[in-house]
Amino acid sequence: MSRINDTRVLLSICDACEERFYRMRETGHEPDFFGEVKPYADVSHQAIADWADEMKSWIVKVKPRYVHAVQVDSLKDSMTQFVVQSFYKETGKKRFILSINAARYTLQTVLNAMANEEGEHKDD
């Protein structure tokens, strides 16, 4: 159950980053790195790293059909970047949104794979 909740937490981080990105562009706010960016990034990066480690173990154990370790690594790299980028209005919109959408797609794919795994184990 924890894997599902952790994956949903990452989806909420994606949503928060997108909302912050638009808010920063609208307001023109310049964030204080040590007061705003770093504390949020530290917590988010830890959640992302913990999730990635947990998923890699799960992938080895379960061998889901549509989820692979390289996707987890890519998502980890992408999310750690856009968490920080979301605070800055200078961030390019197109690439930022594409990164978030790719992360959401991967996270949803993971949720679907976990749901399929649970469905298969109910028959046992």
- Output the pLDDT for position 117: 80
Question: Quick one: 2-122 is in which CATH superfamily?
Answer: YppE-like (1.20.120.440)
pLDDT confidence of residue 122:
52
Q: Cα 7 to the chain's mean position, in Å?
A: 8
pTM of the model: 0.90
Burial per residue of 27-64, b for 16 or more beta-carbon CB atoms within 10 angstroms, e otherwise: eeeebeeeeebeebbeebbebbeebbeebeebbeeeeb
The residue ranges of the chain whose pLDDT is under 70 are 1, 119-124
- pLDDT reported for residue 120: 63
**Domain extent listing, the chain:** 2-122
User: Given this model, what pLDDT does residue 118 score?
Assistant: 74
